[in-house]
């Protein structure tokens, strides 16, 4: 085995090493705390592996002998789950489809990676739309497009590079499709939680651009794609009214409404899916991160085309069909979240963090536009430089957080976080802010 002290140098000999300077002690990290094997120091984990680790480290339920035996068996033998089925897979699919996927969404597809989930949601829409309009009317599918939002992040694979547009470096040097991109009408909040911007004007601007795009790409828009809340793009929240308009556009123009819930889904908001907080149902949802195994689920509208990807073999597929270990782990997570009431508890903890941040903002300045729900909480600093300085200062105080958009900080909380840990985080944030009023 390699010693903790040798980890970074060993990796550096063979790959780019631009990650954290600590080495995670997998065995002794616990709950909301990541332990550094180099120093023994513990970091309060408000980043949760980029919103991917829902129930903390070494949760007692994952240490039970029966679960350990099952996951060890599935780790030793990896079937091509797309075609070779097991009891372990069936137990997971049944748990996910009946406890996490909402009613009225009968179709699922599993794959490894969030971007590939989005990629397959788009393929579902292309396949559907091409058959709907007739392949001869869309140049065999080549003329189809995806309407998407500014500041969106959907991943870095082939199709998703054409819809991701946050940091230019991530997409700049790769060939992309020129697909219609429209204004994202993000809400801004004052420190009492009231709406602080002219959101109707923002939505009107977006809708005008959407209508122009449907005119310009008449009969060619296969999907309207968006994150219910833009994570990497700035923790940008939208109103239910906006989603209702998108639903109407999708219905009117025969496009599928696709939500990318890779970052927001799987109880991140306290509900299984963020769209359930907003009340507007989509046609297809892409998920990943906290679900461990990634994929899509879809509703009845795909059946307007009988030979859609969920009925016809080989239109979408991959060798592994997801990852069986991830499936077994996800099933355990579902059990834990339900049996321990973690969805309700993260809703309360999220509110405590938001209230605490607002009161820091009122007393100290610097902290503005505090927003969020459940495990997904963010605020904005006065400048990109102030944001970088704060993230550095939080790291020094052993609180792990993430950047979001040009000048926001985002937290992605573990569902097991306690009220005491929220209080500790608020103390560290307050301590990390510069003394004195913002420049
Ligand atoms: C909303 C959203 N979609 C897609 C992705 C891509 O997921 P992955 O990095 O697993 O490919 C991410 C990752 O951050 C994301 O936040």
Q: What is the pLDDT of residues 94-144, one digit of tens each?
A: 999 999 999 999 999 999 999 999 999 999 999 999 999 999 999 999 999
How many A from CA of 114 to the centre of ligand 1?
5
Given a cut of 80, whether residue 439 has pLDDT beyond it is no
Report the alpha-carbon distance of residue 283 to residue 200 in Å, rounded: 25
Q: Which residue from 142, 162, 145 is spatially nearest to 154, judged by alpha carbons? A: 162
How many A from CA of 238 to the centre of ligand 1?
19
Q: Which atom of ligand 1 is nearest to the CA of 261?
A: 1
Is the distance from the beta carbon of residue 154 to the nearest atom of ligand 1 less than 6 Å?
Answer: yes
**pTM, 2 dp:** 0.98
How many A from CA of 435 to the centre of ligand 1?
36
Is the distance from the beta carbon of residue 288 to the nearest atom of ligand 1 less than 6 Å?
Answer: yes
Is the distance from the beta carbon of residue 118 to the nearest atom of ligand 1 less than 6 Å?
Answer: yes
How many A from CA of 359 to the centre of ligand 1?
32
Residue among 152, 262, 326 whose CB has most ligand 1 atoms within 8 A, to mutate: 262
Taking CA 401 as the corner, what is the angle to CA 397 and CA 406, rounded to the nearest 5 degrees? 120
How many A from CA of 430 to the centre of ligand 1?
30
What are the boundaries of each domain within the chain? 73-336, 342-395
Is the distance from the beta carbon of residue 115 to the nearest atom of ligand 1 less than 6 Å?
Answer: yes
Is the distance from the beta carbon of residue 326 to the nearest atom of ligand 1 less than 6 Å?
Answer: no
Q: Give nearest CA residue, ligand 1 atom 3.
A: 154
Scan for tokens 């310009």, then name that residue.
Answer: 216
pLDDT at 438: 77
Report the alpha-carbon distance of residue 415 to residue 48 in Å, rounded: 10
Q: 342 falls in which pLDDT band (50, 70, 90)?
A: very high
Report the alpha-carbon distance of residue 274 to residue 277 in Å, rounded: 5
Sign of CA dihedral 252, 253, 254, 260: negative
Is the distance from the beta carbon of residue 155 to the nearest atom of ligand 1 less than 6 Å?
Answer: yes
Q: Are strands 221-226 and 107-111 parallel, antiparallel or unpaired?
A: unpaired
pLDDT at 437: 77
pLDDT digits over 26-42, tens only? Answer: 999 999 999 999 999 99
Given a cut of 80, whether residue 291 has pLDDT beyond it is yes
Q: Which atom of ligand 1 is nearest to the CA of 289?
A: 10
Kindly report the number of other CB atoms within 10 A of residue 271's CB atom: 18
The pLDDT of 159-181, averaged and rounded, is 97
Q: Which atom of ligand 1 is nearest to the CA of 160?
A: 4
Is the distance from the beta carbon of residue 260 to the nearest atom of ligand 1 less than 6 Å?
Answer: yes
How high does pLDDT run on average in the chain?
98
Is the distance from the beta carbon of residue 265 to the nearest atom of ligand 1 less than 6 Å?
Answer: no
Report the alpha-carbon distance of residue 383 to residue 406 in Å, rounded: 8
Q: Which atom of ligand 1 is nearest to the CA of 155?
A: 6
Q: Which atom of ligand 1 is nearest to the CA of 115?
A: 11
CATH topology classification for 73-336: 3.40.640
The pLDDT of 354-381, averaged and rounded, is 98
Burial of 234 (0-12, 13-18, 19+ CB in 10 A): buried
Is the distance from the beta carbon of residue 331 to the nearest atom of ligand 1 less than 6 Å?
Answer: no
The pLDDT of 340-368, averaged and rounded, is 98
């Amino acid at each position: 085995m390699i010693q903790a002290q040798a980890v970074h140098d060993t990796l550096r000999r063979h790959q780019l090493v631009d990650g954290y300077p600590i080495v995670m002690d997998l065995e002794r990290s616990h709950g909301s705390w990541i332990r550094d094997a180099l120093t023994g120091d513990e970091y309060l984990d408000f980043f949760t592996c980029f919103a991917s680790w829902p129930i903390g480290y070494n949760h007692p339920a994952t240490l039970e002998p029966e679960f350990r035996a099952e996951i060890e068996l599935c780790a030793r033998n990896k079937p091509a789950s797309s075609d070779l089925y097991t009891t372990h897979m069936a137990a997971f699919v049944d748990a996910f489809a009946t406890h996490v996927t909402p009613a009225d969404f009968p179709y699922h597809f599993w794959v490894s990676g969030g971007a590939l989930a989005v990629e397959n949601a788009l393929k579902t829409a292309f396949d559907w739309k091409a058959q709907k309009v007739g392949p001869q009317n869309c140049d065999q599918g080549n003329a189809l497009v995806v309407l998407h939002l500014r500041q969106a992040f959907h991943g870095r694979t082939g199709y998703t590079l054409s819809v991701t547009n946050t940091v230019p470096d991530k997409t700049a040097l790769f060939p992309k499709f020129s697909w219609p991109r429209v204004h994202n009408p993000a809400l801004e909040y004052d420190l009492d939680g009231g709406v602080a911007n002219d959101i109707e004007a923002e939505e009107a601007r977006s809708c005008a651009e959407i209508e122009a795009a449907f005119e310009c790409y008449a009969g060619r828009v296969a999907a309207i794609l968006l994150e219910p809340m833009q994570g990497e793009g700035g923790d940008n929240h939208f109103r239910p009214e906006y989603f209702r308009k998108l639903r109407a556009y999708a219905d009117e123009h025969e496009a599928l409404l696709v939500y990318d819930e890779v970052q927001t889904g799987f109880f991140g908001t306290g509900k299984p899916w963020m769209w359930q907080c907003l009340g507007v149902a989509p046609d297809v949802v892409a998920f990943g991160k906290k679900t461990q195994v990634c994929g899509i689920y879809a509703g009845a509208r795909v059946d307007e085309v009988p030979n859609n990807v969920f009925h016809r073999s080989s239109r979408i597929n991959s060798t592994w069909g997801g990852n069986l270990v991830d499936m077994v782990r996800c099933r355990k997570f579902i059990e834990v979240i339900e049996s321990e009431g973690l969805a309700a508890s993260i809703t309360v903890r999220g509110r405590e963090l938001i209230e605490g941040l607002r009161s820091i903002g009122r007393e100290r300045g610097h902290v503005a536009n505090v927003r969020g729900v459940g495990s997904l909480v963010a605020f904005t600093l006065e400048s990109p430089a102030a944001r970088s300085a704060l993230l550095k200062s939080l790291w020094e105080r052993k609180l792990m957080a993430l950047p979001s958009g040009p000048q926001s900080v985002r937290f992605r909380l573990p569902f097991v976080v306690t009220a005491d840990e929220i209080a500790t985080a608020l103390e560290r944030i307050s301590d990390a802010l510069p003394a004195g009023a913002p420049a």
